[in-house]
Structure 1
C-alpha cells in the first residue's frame, strides 16, 4: 500500500539551504569540484543523489579520521560514467546508483571490481499546497493523480543522464502493465518536466514551482518535503521484486539498454587512479561506517556490502 509521510520544515537553516540561497546546490556541491583530478587527496565522482550525504557527512568524517583531503563531484550516474569513459574526469573513486550500469560501462577498461554498499527506494515527493499534492494526500491511487496532472507539474531527472530518470519512466510502465493503463508511460513521458541536474530535482518542489517529483527516499528526507511512499511493486527498493522491475526497460540516447532493478549503490577505484591507496582507503571507510549511510536516509541490510570481481584486501571490512 502506498503511504503518506508529510514533513514539517525545520526553522533552522542548514549548510545545504545556505548553499541553495547562494546559487543552488549544484553551485555549492559541484561547481567547486569542477577541476576534479587536480587536487591532492581522494577524488570521488559520484551519483548526484549522494551529494549531500557525501559532502556534508561522509566526506568530512573521512577527512577527520584519515587526514586525507576529500574532493567530490556529483552528477547523474550515466553522466558520471560517461565522464570517466571519455577521459573528461580522472577520479580515484567512482560511485553509481545502478550496479549493472557501472559494470557495463567501466569494466574492463576502467575497473575490475566493485563493492555494493547501500540501498534506496523511489518515492513521490510533493508540495501539499498544490492541486496535485492535495490529490496525493488522499487515498486515490498515485497513477490516477498523475494522469490528471498539468503538463510540467511533475519533475523527473533526465533518463539519459541518470538512473533515477529512467526509473521514473519504468515506474510509469510498471503501473501501465499492472492496471491496464494503455499508453500511460508515453503520456507521462510527454507530461513531465525533465531536470538535467539530479541535485536540483527537488528545488522547485520546495519552492512550490512544481507540484511533485519522482525522487529517491534519502533526497526527500534531506529536503524535508512531503512524501508519498510506493509499494514494493513500484519503488525499486525490494530485492524480492527484482524480476518484476526487470520487466520494464529503457534505452538511453547513447544506446545503452537498461532493465529495471533495485536501487543499490556501488563503488570502485579506477584501475588507473592517480591515488589508488587513497581511493581504497575511502571505499573501505564507506563500507565500515553504516551509521553515516543510514543517517543519510539510505538502507544497509545484512546483504551489504557485496563484492563483485576481486577487490583488494584493503577494501574488505
Structure 2
C-alpha cells in the first residue's frame, strides 16, 4: 500500500471504535499531509478553548490530518501542570507571553512564538438591569459599584492572567477616574470563577450580570461586550509602561505579574511525545492570522513574533 493509503488505513482502524462509517469517510478524505502522527496534545489558556475547538483544531486537522487534543485551564494553572508534570502536552499556549517565559524557559523550552493579541472588557447580559443601563451609556465603573455581591465575575487571579488582569484593570480605572478604593470595593463583591472557560456561561444564563473577559470570549458566545478604554484594556503595546504601573502577586506560587499587553504565545515542550506535530501546529498558528481574527483575536503589526532559540521547523 502506498504511504497515503497506509496513513488512511491507520486513521480508520483507530476510529472504528469511536465513530460511524460516515465519519470515517471524512477522516479518510483529510489525509495525512506531511506527518504520520495522528494527534497532537495541547495545554492552553482557558480563553482559547473555543478558538482551538471550533476554529484552529478543525482547520488544522483538515489541512494535515492531525487531530488536536486540547485541555484548557487558567494559564497559571497550565504552567504549574507542566512544571510538576501533571500534564504532558506537546504544545503549551499561554495568554501571557511573559508568564510562559518566566515559568518554562530553561527546563521545558527555550523559545516561543507570539501569534495573537486580545483586549479586556466586560461581557454582559443585556436583559439584566446592569446590562440595560450599560447600553444606555452609564459608566461601567459606577454601575459596578452598585452591583450586589456575585453579580459580576472575574477569573481567579491566582489561576489565570484574565483574573489578575481584571484586578489590574480595577486598579488602573481607580487611577484613571480618581475612584478612591475602587479596586478593593470590586474585590469584595466580585465572584472569582475558577474555571475560566465557564466564565461567560454564568452571564449567558443570567446568574451573573457581567464578567471581565477577553474580547474573543464574547465573540465566541455572541455576547454583548464593552471593551475597556486603552488605558486599561491591555491591548495597546505603546502603553506597556503604563500597564506596568500595576501588578498582582499570586497566593500559592508567589508569582508577581506586572500589567502588560495581552499577547498569546505558543511553544513545543522539550518533553513532547510528538514534537514534529507540535511544530506543525505552531507554524499553522503563524500562517493563519485570518482564522484567528475570525475567532475574535487580533493579529496586528509586529505579530507573529519569535523569541529565543526557535527551531528551524518554525518560519516566522
TM-score normalised according to structure 1 size: 0.86
Counterpart Cα distance in 2 of 1:150 and 1:212: 12
Aligned match for 2:201, one of 200, 203, 209: 203
| 2:93 aligned with 1:95 | yes
Count of residue pairs the alignment pairs up: 279
Which portions of structure 1, spanning 4 or more consecutive aligned residues, are displaced by more than 6 angstroms?
Answer: none
| Correspondent of 2:176 among 172, 175, 178 | 178
Could you say what the CA RMSD is over the residues aligned between the two structures, in angstroms? 1.2
C-alpha distance in structure 2 between counterparts of 1:206 and 1:94, whole Å: 29
Match of 1:45 in 2: 43
2:299 is the counterpart of 1:300:
yes
Match of 2:135 in 1: 137
> Match for 2:58 among 55, 60, 74?
60
| Contact map agreement 2:156 2:194 (CA 8 A) in 1 | yes
Q: Determine the structure 1 residue equivalent to 2:17.
A: none
Aligned match of 1:73 in 49, 53, 71? 71
Partner of 1:35: none
Q: CA deviation at 1:40?
A: 5.2
What is the aligned partner in structure 1 of residue 121 from structure 2? 123
Structure 2 residue runs without a partner (length 5+): 1-36
Q: Deviations over 1:220-266 (max 9, x none)?
A: 01111111222111111111111111111000012000001111100
Q: Give the C-alpha shift of residue 282 in structure 1.
A: 0.8
1:163 aligns with 2:191: no
Listed as ranges, the gaps of 5+ residues in structure 1 are: 1-38
Question: What secondary structure does 2:123 align onto?
Answer: strand
**What secondary structure does 2:92 align onto?**
strand
Partner of 2:82: 84
Give the equivalent residue in structure 1 for 2:4: none
Residue 6 of structure 1 aligns with which residue?
Answer: none
State yes or no: 1:262 paired with 2:261: yes
Deviates more, 1:239-248 or 1:86-95: 239-248
* Secondary structure of the corresponding residue to residue 128 of structure 1: coil
Once the two structures are TM-superposed, the CA of residue 139 in structure 1 deviates from its matched residue by: 2.5
Larger Rg computed on CA atoms:
2
